A and B are shown apart, each in its own frame.
Chain A
């Protein structure tokens, strides 16, 4: 919060100048990329496109491709949003980032892997019993993820309550390694496959969109709506927001602060569990490190949306998924950068840097006073 402390009109330091330069460069690059994209859509053979593509014409994106990018961005973003909620809620209540939250997601996906294969062996996965089987699998994956999140709080974080924020943060990195390696120990380090989805789920449903992606988006939307209702409209949700703001006064209202913190972890874990299972259905593969990248991305989504803000976490997830999916072909490719599909992860983190440079509180974040968050 150094910018807040520094008096207005104080001389700009070199750091300030550097940051301004960085802002200008990033926004400039995005604008140029966007303009180049528009130009290439109008005329793939325009001079700029030819110049960036070594004299070749650029590849115009078809409507079909564009739609594909948006849909996969949305489905991916919905999962980021589900995970991001857990980061955001725990940050809201305890003020630290639980870096082991991605592992809760991975364990959800792993539970789905184990159960779906068992059901497949029993011949229940692809047959007529697919829907009840999947629902049951989602339920168990969610319960296991919830249990893991609660256990994590009890074993690793509660004993550290009241210690400086950095300590649970570092502990969470340790917890993350512990869970990853425990999974490797139990199930091996290789990638595990989900059984194939039934054909009807892989078929195009409407507008040529794969059924499984529609399912992912709808389930994520329902889960988020449910969570929103829980936090905003129920008594427990109200207690949760009260604890997030002032634990001492919350306990003066008669709220059991410890139980509320456990509930927060449980709800965040459940969301990650659902996300993990959706991930499994969509990509049909899981490995012990599956939680890492989506976890970091979801953390990015939470920051982009404004950490501690639930609507922000959801919107941040969708924005991040969309950017990751669209930016390589709509911003980078028109600039003549090669191998753009490898740059998805870079896009995410550039977006993170961009948000931190331009609006450090995130898109929907409230300004935190310096005594609120040191």
Chain B
């Protein structure tokens, strides 16, 4: 853990010396991360730096070869994805990945697949309709027929239906029209303000860091920088390699 972390609360989600392999290829190398309740953190890194693997390992879609994935203080290495989703970890996947042949409503309902509190689910659906009025207009349409921006809303709505405490976002601005990127970040901000922790993997580092509290920089599977968002934004080296600054 880095010394920028003065938080004494238990992390919601944590990596302790995580290593992962795809076959013989070593992807993540001794990665340590901690996400605390209610904060917004960002993971930066170029292509093939291990960002997506980090997310998949957090969710249990990839099993680490060594190290511990810790959720609320409990080691969850051998727990399935559903176990983690049930306990408040969920993801908005890269490129949204909606169930295109299912209706918008069915997509949202599947987000709440593990929940049994019918009244609460209905409540949350209403909340999502208020948040995204456009989604409400298209409830019975197949989600594959929606525009990119609308699909992004459904993807976020679907994730929120799981009642997450931490939302993992894999490249949320990927594939969105430039005009929508700003709106999208505002939505993320809005979700964050409801007290949901956000862990964002993003290419648009400037935008991501301007929202986040802290950030990590991943390079070929190793965490090379771990600092507050302001410090990272001011870091000349980072400016040069990721932020496109002078």
> Contact check: which of A238, A248, A366 meets B110 at CB < 8 Å?
A238
Determine the chain A residues whose CB is within 8 A of the CB of B61 once the complex forms: 248, 251-252
Chain A residues with Cβ below 8 Å from B26 are none
> Which of these, A235, A245, A254, A256, contacts B99 with CB under 8 Å?
A245
Asked if B82 and A246 make an inter-chain contact with CB atoms under 8 angstroms apart, the answer reads: no
Would you call A239 and B113 a contact (CB within 8 A)? yes
- What's the dominant secondary structure at chain A's contact region? helix
Whether the Cβ atoms of A241 and B85 lie closer than 8 Å is: no
Q: Which of B61, B93, B110, B111 gathers most chain A CB within 10 Å?
A: B110
Q: How many residue pairs bridge A and B at CB < 8 Å?
A: 58
At the interface, yes or no: B102 with Cβ under 8 Å from chain A?
yes
Chain B residues whose C-beta falls within 8 Å of the C-beta of A253 in the assembled complex: 85, 110-111, 113-114, 158, 162
A239 CA to B61 CA, complexed, in Å: 18
Number of interface residues of B (CB under 8 A): 23
Q: Number of A residues whose C-beta is below 8 Å from B?
A: 17
Closest Cβ of chain B to A240, distance in Å, is: 11
Q: Which residues of A contact B109 (CB under 8 A)?
A: 238
Q: Identify the closest chain B residue to A308 (Cβ).
A: B101
| B28 CB within 8 Å of chain A | no
- Contact of B81 with A251 in the complex, beta carbons under 8 Å: yes
Pairs A–B under 8 Å by Cβ, sample size 24: A238-B106, A241-B101, A241-B102, A242-B99, A242-B102, A242-B110, A245-B99, A245-B102, A248-B97, A249-B97, A250-B99, A251-B81, A252-B81, A252-B91, A253-B111, A253-B114, A253-B162, A254-B81, A254-B113, A254-B114, A255-B82, A255-B113, A256-B80, A366-B101
Measuring CB to CB, which residues of chain B are less than 8 angstroms from any residue of chain A? 59, 61, 80-82, 85-86, 90-91, 93, 97, 99-102, 106, 109-111, 113-114, 158, 162
What residues of chain A have their CB less than 8 Å away from a CB belonging to chain B?
235, 238-239, 241-242, 245-246, 248-256, 366
Closest 5 CB pairs of A and B: A254-B114, A254-B82, A254-B85, A253-B113, A249-B97
Known: A251-B80, A254-B86. 10 other contacts (CB 8 A): A238-B110, A241-B102, A242-B110, A245-B101, A248-B97, A252-B61, A253-B158, A253-B162, A254-B81, A254-B113
